[in-house]
Structure 1
Amino acid sequence: MSVLSELKTQSNIIYLLGRFNNKICFLCYIVGLFWFLALPHHEMSSSTYFSENALLPGLVDSEFYHDFGADSYYNELTDIMKERHMYQIPSNWLLKKFRKLGLDTYTQNYTFKYPFGVYSDKTLTGQNVYAIMRAPRTSGTEALVLSVPFGPELDGHDATYPGIALMLALAKSFRRNSYWAKDIIFLVTDNKEIGIQAWLSSYHHIPNKYIKAEVLPGRSGSIQAALNLELTSKYVGRVNVKFEGVNGRLPNLDLFNTVERLFHKEGLRIIIQKKVLEYSSSEWQRYLHSTKQMLIMMWNQASGIPTGNHGYFHKFNIDAVTIQGFKSKSRKQLDFTDVGRAFEGIFRSLNNLLERFHQSFFFYLLPSPDRYISIGVYMPPLGIMLLPIVIKISLSVCLCVCVCMCACII
């Protein structure tokens, strides 16, 4: 009797689904959509927090009290580029500055061949310059990376000279201290994303079909984390953090939280997706702002294209973000010293890591820099929105099975 009752129950369910499947599918989609759109509200999202206790962000006092010559580096680099009318990376000047700081300095040449037969008769050549500050406390089995893409003032794009100047100043500051437990690699790449791919492929001994790069003459240990600096002005009014990588991959949330916390300590709140929310905004405006940021993040992930050079580190299981500083009309402006202190704090926190990032989330959505939506929260509404597909497929399978059974009986 129990078997018959179960069969009868299943038949009733199939009958109801078959009769009202369109209405059920529509209702599931609407419920899932509204539930998903409610997630950016502050009542549905959660405040960010640190899962990795070893980071200790902002606990130590900063030793980057002045710009460590960042202004002079910037002025010298600007004058050199103007005098020589150069649009190529000033490798000799960079090598000279890094060697003066006592770092191991190297260059890497590469050639890029356009894929899919585009410009088959042309190739693009470039050069990367990097320096390694060896950790005095360890044998160099682990490393951190600070990269800056070289970009001249060309075709309306702002030059990245301030980022290179700040990198040299940070290298000068870091070199004076002996508490580093990880090597630090200072990398200046050419030709935007091509240069970083050439360097990473050679560093990990993985050949690239379209990039022929020289073998790196100097290496360090396993890279634990990386920061990509895009600074186009001496004075920074806004700091935008880019974190979407190749195929939508994200860095560990603890890395993003560290960046957010250290810049907030210096008196500047970071933004994401280049969207600024005024403090006087109403609750409805804050909700729309959060929703827009979340949807832009999802769009960037769906495209599969990284939003910066940091995204190519993700392919090698290296957590990385891009920190983009630019001018704005805000009253609060950071100079080289303020930004340098934030970067010093981030690297000192990363220096405390005992192992790779693993405790916090790798799957999340960010409606704002200080709130997140975890995978356990956004998957249920997504599942409900996809449930109509399952219902339609199940009904089609049941119909096919019934037709086959009837054909066999006849």
Structure 2
Amino acid sequence: MAESEVNEASKNPKKPQKPLIRVVIYIISHSSLFSLICCIAGIVAFLLLPILAKNTYISENALMPGSANPMFSGHETIEANQLVKEIMSINPKIVAAGIEIPRLLAQHMERTGAEVYCHKFHAQMNQFHPLQFFSASPYTLKMQENSSCGSHGINSVGIIRAPRGDGKEAIVLVTPYNSSKIDLSEALSLGLAYSIFSLLSRVNWLAKDFVWLAADSRYGEYNSVAAWLKDYHTPVFVGLKEFDTDTCAESSYPHDWKEHSTTARSIPDVFGRAGTIAAALVFKVVDRQETTDKDTLNIYSEASNGQMPNLDLINIVHYLAVHKQGLHVKVEKFYLLLNSAWLRIVGEIFELIGKVAKNLNPQWKFGIPAADYIEGTATLASSVYYQALGIPTGSHGAFRDYQVDAITLEISPRVSLNNEARRPEFLLRGGRLIEGVIRSVNNLLEKFHQSFFLYLMTSSGKFVSVGVYMIGFALLVSPLPVAAAALYSGLRTSDSSLNTNKHKANPSSTEAYGTVLKSWRWLHAAKVVFVVHLWGVLVSLVPCLIIQLPERTPTSSMLAWVSLSILSLVTLYGILGSPYSYIISPQYQRREWEILKAVMIAVASIGLGLMSIINYATAQIGAVLMVPMCLLAVPLRHISRSGMSRAVLLTIFNLVVAFLSFPPVTMLLIKGFSEGFDSVSVGDFWIWAQSLWTWNSATYLYLILIHLPCWALCIHILLHPC
């Protein structure tokens, strides 16, 4: 008998496991060590991004920046100065009415022979509309109920038809200004834009239509541009006027224009259009007087939900500004980090490692000077923050809502704008810069597509591509599915041993126990996770009730939000049951929190993965806060059973991580360290959240629907009565 069994076993040997399966099993069995290594590696990979950044380069050869001699000359600067003087000499009482400057701009546009019209728009309702979160632009321009027919802005628009084009594409230049209270810097922006517009009306190389939008920003820079773009992309049907935003008057021209100006009579009262917008520039002159020996150019590129323009658009601006016009180019940075002691230590460590690597092999190029690392990290942190915020950093964001590449350029002179002797030189640089950018975009035969759309800036001339910065995020998130698999594997092993003991004690109850163990316990954990995430949905809708309250302040609104959120959670627990309502025998109760943790981790990993597709920066910051919180979550009673020192250490870690991961606390700490804790109040989070939902930022949904429920579930696990 024994011999026959041996022969049968030799005929049917057990198949060896595949190497990949063995690796997975090994990783799951050592999940704690794997999670620790991945988290440390993910943070180190993020700190290495300023070192791994590459110099920007122009991918599209057709752009050819700087290949032609500029035509913008002293004649155009004289035209710009003349318009500036006309604007600044207007009677302040007329300027306050917001009519004379749009009329003057339209009159000058008409002199160039361009197509000119005015675009009238009304102030928008700035409220929270949860049912239109994704279906409408953040500024669906609707007239307020208490608005009169006079509460409107007037955009002056001029179109130059390209002599070498077919009218299918266009380039847009936007110059925002406050028509009711204009200052010298805004007048210079208009004067410079007009001189460029006048120049382009005489050239013969223009292959794309050129549109100059003098945007009336008395109700906000973004509002005026978004209103014009909305009408620009709205289909027009003959005989229908629903598309017209003006519901007060038959004509979009003010009555004062018609009574006192011949310009309004000669300009057609229609909304003019050019071709599909290939690119847009928002140009502003700012009297900032930087402490540098050069004129300064600031570039703003972040749009809604972390969208960025094609990197080639920034590259041509940087190339022309630095190499052709000698400007000092800057991008936004966190100046607080420039004086950070710990960041300087990290930079010096990387600099030392780079020197050692270079001594070992001169071909190894690793490490940068500590000062460059600090500045790159400050710029990188700013880029991540503004992308994660999901709010446009300028009116260029309105173009990205229509998938148009656009950036905002702010140019500031090294001397005061009142210095008329140096003003022509400043205007000459700015005019040639804009002319060069327009020439490059004019050379394109198709839309921007060669360079990157997903990137982070570490300086005006360096960037990190998506293939590099996603490595750190992948390392941070990878412990979550491994930890969930390890918990599931440990539960199966434990349940098998319990099932065996149960079978020995009472063989008839084994089948019933296995059914409860494998179904109801996991279903209960899934129900708890579902209830908490349903609570997150209710919390996200609470602000639409709070904003209806009269005489509310940010602090009272925040307290009402917290109170209603707690009340809704208690109500849901009363209806659907709390996490502690499903209690089984004590010998199995201690495993319930592990099941809940496994389901929570699985949902958290899915949420972070989805958010990384929508907005990487939000997912990256969320992973830094959420992954340690989810991995460390252990019931405090369970921790107290271990050694004293280990129990105290784990308790402190769990409480600190849970405290720092609470969204209001995180936001208030960031503001406190950046602006000082004297200016921090409870209502600041309400103001911050209000800006997120007003701009339809996906970060708001992530915080309330993913991050907050996971934080609540971690608190449930910490308080679990195991």
TM-score with structure 1 length normalisation? 0.87
Distance 1:60 1:81, change over 3 A: farther
Shift of the 113–63 alpha-carbon distance from structure 1 to 2, 3 Å rule, reads closer
Task: Please tell me whether residue 394 in structure 1 is matched to residue 485 in structure 2.
Answer: yes
Task: State the one-letter code of the partner of 1:33.
Answer: I
Aligned ranges for residues 362-377 of structure 1 at < 5 Å? 362-377=453-468
Matches within 5 A, 1:14-29: 14=25, 17-18=28-29, 20-29=30-39
Q: Deviations over 1:1-44 (max 9, x none)?
A: 886432898578546534x4333212211111111111112xx1
Per the alignment, residue 188 of structure 1 pairs with 214
Higher strand share: 1
**What residue in structure 1 maps to residue 228 of structure 2?**
199
8 A Cα contact 1:147 1:229, kept in partner: yes
Distance in 2 of aligned mates of 1:171 and 1:251: 24
Structure 1 residue aligned with 2:318, among 244, 250, 260?
260
Cα separation, partners in 2 of 1:337 and 1:329, compared to 1, 3 Å: closer
Alignment-derived partner of residue 558 in structure 2: none
Q: Could you say which structure has the higher helix fraction?
A: 2
> Against the structure 1 CA distance between its residues 46 and 120, is the aligned structure 2 distance closer, same or farther, given a 3 Å change threshold?
same
The residue that corresponds to 1:284 in the other structure is: 370
* 1:114 and 1:122 in contact (8 A); partners too: no
Of residues 35, 55, 64 in structure 1, which corresponds to 2:72? 64
Determine helix, strand or coil for the equivalent of 1:69. Answer: helix
- Partner of 1:86 in structure 2? 96
Asked if 1:103 corresponds to 2:114, the answer is yes
Q: Does 1:298 align with 2:325?
A: no
Task: Report deviation, 1:65.
Answer: 1.5
Q: Which amino acid aligns with 1:317?
A: Q
Do the aligned partners of 2:300 and 2:394 also contact (CA within 8 Å) in 1? yes
Distance 1:396 1:79, change over 3 A: farther
Instruction: Provide the residue aligned with 2:245 in structure 1.
Output: 213
CA separation of 1:84 and 1:40: change in aligned 2, threshold 3 A: same
Deviation at 1:158, TM superposition (A): 7.4
Query: How much does 1:255 deviate?
Result: 0.6
Which protein has the larger Cα radius of gyration, Structure 1 or Structure 2? 2
Structure 1 contact 181–351 (Cα < 8 Å) conserved: yes
Q: Report the alpha carbon displacement of residue 182 of structure 1 after superposing the two structures with TM.
A: 0.5
The answer on whether the counterparts of 1:107 and 1:127 sit within 8 Å (CA) in structure 2 is: yes
Compute the displacement of 1:399 (Å). 5.1
CA distance in structure 2 between the partners assigned to 1:396 and 1:160 by the alignment: 62
Give SS of 1:80's match. Answer: coil
**1:117 and 1:375, CA in 2 relative to 1: closer, same or farther beyond 3 A?**
closer
Q: Does 1:33 align with 2:43?
A: yes
AA in 2 matched with 1:174: L
**Which residue of 1 is the match for residue 146 of structure 2?**
122
- 1:165 aligned to 191, 202, 220, which one? 191
After superposition, the Cα gap between the structure-2 partners of 1:284 and 1:7, relative to the gap in structure 1 and judged at 3 Å, is closer
- Contact 1:246-1:305 within 8 A present in 2 as well: yes
> Post-superposition shift, 1:125?
2.2
Checking the alignment, whether the CA contact within 8 Å between 2:156 and 2:214 is kept in structure 1 is: yes
Name the SS for the 2:127 alignment partner: coil
Inter-partner Cα distance in structure 2 for 1:27 and 1:99: 67
Q: Distance in 1 between matches of 2:471 and 2:287?
A: 44
For residue 77 of structure 1, the aligned residue among 77, 82, 87 is 87
1:42-78: CA deviation from partner (whole Å, max 9, x where unpaired):
xx12111111111000010011111151111112111
Structure 1 Cα separation of the partners of residues 392 and 64 of structure 2: 29
- In structure 2, give the amino acid aligned to 1:111: H
Counterparts of 2:231 and 2:485 in 1: how far apart (Å)? 49
Structure 1: gaps of 5 or more residues: none
Distance 2:233 2:490 in 1: 53
Distance in 2, matches of 1:109 and 1:2, equals: 83
Mapped to 1, the partners of 2:13 and 2:404 lie a distance apart of: 56
Distance 1:409 1:306 in 2: 52
Indicate the residue corresponding to 2:258 in structure 1. none
Cα distance in structure 2, aligned partners of 1:295 and 1:238: 22
Q: How far does residue 87 in structure 1 lie from its aligned partner after superposition?
A: 6.2
- Opposite residue 161 of structure 1, the aligned amino acid is A
- Give, in angstroms, the shift of residue 131 of structure 1: 0.5
Q: 1:320 aligns with which of 406, 417, 420?
A: 406
SS in structure 2 at match of 1:240:
strand
The CA distance in 1 between the partners of 2:86 and 2:181, in whole Å, is: 19
1:381–1:3 distance in 2 versus 1, CA, 3 Å = farther
**Count of residue pairs brought into register by the alignment:** 398
Q: Distance in 1 between matches of 2:153 and 2:490?
A: 61
Aligned partner of 2:123 in structure 1 is 112
| Other-structure match for 1:138 | 165
Higher mean C-alpha deviation, range 396-405 or range 20-29: 396-405
In the alignment, the residues of structure 2 paired with residue 2 and residue 164 of structure 1 have an alpha-carbon distance, to the nearest angstrom, of 85
Residues 1:45 and 2:68 aligned together = no
360, 369, 381: which one pairs with 2:472?
A: 381
Report deviation, 1:81: 5.7
CA offsets 1:64-114 (integer angstroms, 9 cap, x no match): 111151111112111216463526362111111100111110111122332
Aligned-residue CA RMSD (Å): 3.3
Q: Does 1:341 align with 2:432?
A: yes
Q: Which residue identity lines up with residue 59 of structure 1 in the other structure?
A: S
The SS at the match of 1:322 is: strand
Q: What is the letter of the counterpart of residue 138 of structure 1?
A: G
CA contact under 8 A between 1:112 and 1:212: conserved in structure 2? no
The percent identity for this pair of structures is: 29
- Note closer, same or farther for the CA distance 1:299–1:8 as it changes in structure 2 (3 Å cut): closer
Q: CA deviation at 1:178?
A: 1.0
Do the aligned partners of 1:68 and 1:173 also contact (CA within 8 Å) in 2?
Answer: no
Q: Bigger shift: 255-264 or 112-121?
A: 112-121
Aligned residues of 2:156 and 2:213 also touching (Cα < 8 A): yes
Higher relative contact order (CA 8 A, sep 6+): 1
Q: Deviations 1:278-312 (Å, cap 9, x if unpaired)?
A: xxxx9211111111101101110111100011111
Question: What residue in structure 1 maps to residue 276 of structure 2?
Answer: 222
For the Cα contact (< 8 Å) 1:227–1:323, is it kept in 2? yes
Task: Tell me, in whole angstroms, the C-alpha distance in 2 between the residues paired with 1:329 and 1:390.
Answer: 57
Contact kept? 2:333, 2:378, Cα under 8 Å: no
